[in-house]
Amino acid sequence: MQIDLATLWYLTIGTLLVSAALTLWERQAHPRRARELGTWGGACAVFAFGCVVAMNRGLLPGATGAALTNLLMVLGYLMVLHGAARLDGPARFRGSAAALAALALLWAVAGWRFEAAFWNHVAALPIALACGLTAWTLLRSRTIRGLRSRPVAVAVSAGHGLFYLLRGLVAPVLAERYGPGLLPVFAKVTMYEAVLYSVAMPMTFLALVREEAQAQLLAAARTDFLTGLANRQGFFEQGARMLAERVADRPVALLAFDLDHFKRINDHHGHAAGDAVLALFARVARDVAGPDALVARLGGEEFAALLPRQSGRTARQIGEGVARLFAEAVAHRDGPGIPATVSVGLAEAGPAHADLASLLSAADRALYQAKARGRNRVEVAAAA
């Protein structure tokens, strides 16, 4: 079945308007990304308006219709780029405004004399550049790194940009060689591709936002609200992966912590003071254990730190450092000013403690020994 060019224009306008509506509607479900979604929805609306102008460009004098269409389309692509850049934080539109002004000046200077060449070929190059920058921005984005839909979003922008680059550079050569009869073919292929892009672009951005929101919910479910550390679920999920991925000859140690007489702190000083002590201990433990360690609050005043590539000797030094610095910080005038200490149990991974549950159980037994032997000390689990 043959579809004429006008039908493709109408189909593109329809898909763009539906995409704009769905993207703007999604803002209600994702207020954190409302600006980005609003920018992408606005871009779809600008594309649709540009298509309407393009279909009626012959009604405007000279190259005005072609120039206005090209400026609207480039504005839409720059809005897509701006929304992608905002994923990592605030982004300015000044560079995009300057690019639009330069493009308008180019149309004013040369577009009137070479309208056909500008419309059929040159106008594609700024679109290719904007799409390439969008793909590069998504590829480098820290926020969406690791999201499953990111490669798809990069591919959609990069593929669209490559298509327009070929339209701007290869199509003139083919038209010169085989005659201007190819231009309607290029126009129809361009509209086919535009329909695909008008669906794929908003779908991939919606997928990014939804996947990011889902990842944040999962992270919140695995994070202790008070301390910002991993909670028990997060500790066992991530810790099990760390143990499974470790090399056999690389040491791994685990420290189990329990704040001494914590109930007395809550009873005498109130739960707000107890929460401050817990938060302070979390900061000390995270700082001393280092960025590679998995530090978690297992519940109440119980904490644990999984230390990859750390021997028992080094882990003991870390445990002693945590206990010492915590006692100093909690009694400091800038701290809660409440005397508090912590008991620590240490266990090393090995044949007898190959999984996280058995390793934690061994560290807990050592922790009970530290409690029994006077508290505020580090005890090492006996070798199996």
Q: What 3-state class would DSSP assign to 302?
A: strand
Predicted pLDDT of residue 4: 77
- Mean pLDDT, residues 47-70 taken together: 93
Q: pLDDT tens across 118-161, in order?
A: 888 899 999 999 999 999 999 999 999 989 999 999 999 999 99
Distance, CA of 194 to CA of 27 (rounded, Å):
24
Predicted pLDDT of residue 353: 72
Question: Do residue 187 and residue 265 come from a single domain?
Answer: no
Confidence of residue 335 (pLDDT cuts 50, 70, 90): low
Question: Do residue 212 and residue 319 come from a single domain?
Answer: no
Please determine, for residue 384, whether its predicted confidence score (pLDDT) is greater than 80.
no
Question: Do residue 73 and residue 194 come from a single domain?
Answer: yes
Q: pLDDT tens across 216-231, in order?
A: 888 889 999 999 999 9
Residue 226, in any domain of the structure = no
Between these two residues, 249 and 38, which has the higher pLDDT value?
38
Interstrand relation of 252-259 and 302-308 (parallel, antiparallel or unpaired): antiparallel
Structural domain harbouring 323: 232-380
Predicted pLDDT of residue 182: 82
Please determine, for residue 42, whether its predicted confidence score (pLDDT) is greater than 90.
yes
CATH code for position 308: 3.30.70.270
Q: pLDDT tens across 233-290, in order?
A: 999 999 999 888 877 778 899 999 999 999 999 988 899 999 999 999 999 999 999 9
Predicted pLDDT of residue 354: 75
Confidence of residue 333 (pLDDT cuts 50, 70, 90): low
Give the number of other Cβ atoms within 10 Å of residue 98's Cβ.
Answer: 10
Average pLDDT of every residue of the chain = 91
CATH code for position 112: 1.20.1070
Confidence of residue 383 (pLDDT cuts 50, 70, 90): low
Predicted pLDDT of residue 2: 62
Q: Which residue has the tokens 């390793």?
A: 359
List the one residue out of 186, 171, 136, 176 whose CA is nearest residue 157: 136
Please determine, for residue 1, whether its predicted confidence score (pLDDT) is greater than 60.
no
Question: Do residue 111 and residue 252 come from a single domain?
Answer: no
Predicted pLDDT of residue 291: 92
Residue 121, in any domain of the structure = yes
Predicted pLDDT of residue 245: 82
Give the number of other Cβ atoms within 10 Å of residue 282's Cβ.
Answer: 20
Question: Do residue 174 and residue 203 come from a single domain?
Answer: yes
Question: Do residue 24 and residue 150 come from a single domain?
Answer: yes
Please determine, for residue 336, whether its predicted confidence score (pLDDT) is greater than 80.
no
Identity of the residue numbered 361: S
Residue 127, in any domain of the structure = yes
List the one residue out of 78, 95, 183 whose CA is nearest residue 132: 78
Last residue in a domain, options 221, 253, 279: 221
Count CA atoms within 13 Å of residue 210 on its CB side: 9
Q: Which residue has the tokens 């934690």?
A: 360
Question: Percentage of residues in the chain with pLDDT exceeding 70?
Answer: 97
* Overall number of domains in the chain: 2
Question: Percentage of residues in the chain with pLDDT exceeding 90?
Answer: 69
Which 3-state string (H, E, C) describes 130-145? HHHHHHHHHHHCCCCC
Question: Do residue 238 and residue 347 come from a single domain?
Answer: yes
Residue 227, in any domain of the structure = no
Q: pLDDT tens across 86-124, in order?
A: 999 988 888 889 999 999 999 988 888 888 888 888 999
Residue 283, in any domain of the structure = yes
Q: pLDDT tens across 283-332, in order?
A: 999 999 999 999 999 999 999 999 998 999 999 999 999 999 999 888 77
The residues, ordered by sequence, that sit 6+ positions from 138 with a Cβ below 8 Å of its Cβ are: 84, 87, 144, 150, 153, 154, 157
The phi and psi torsions of 299 (rounded to 5 degrees) equal 150, 140
Residue 88, in any domain of the structure = yes
Confidence of residue 334 (pLDDT cuts 50, 70, 90): low
Distance, CA of 287 to CA of 291 (rounded, Å):
8
Question: Do residue 29 and residue 92 come from a single domain?
Answer: yes
Question: Do residue 246 and residue 166 come from a single domain?
Answer: no
Environment class of 59 (CB within 10 Å of its CB; exposed 0-12, middle 13-18, buried 19+): exposed
Question: Do residue 144 and residue 241 come from a single domain?
Answer: no
Q: What share of the chain is helix, strand, coil (3-state, %, to 5)?
A: 70, 10, 20
Question: Do residue 69 and residue 203 come from a single domain?
Answer: yes
The residues, ordered by sequence, that sit 6+ positions from 365 with a Cβ below 8 Å of its Cβ are: 345, 381
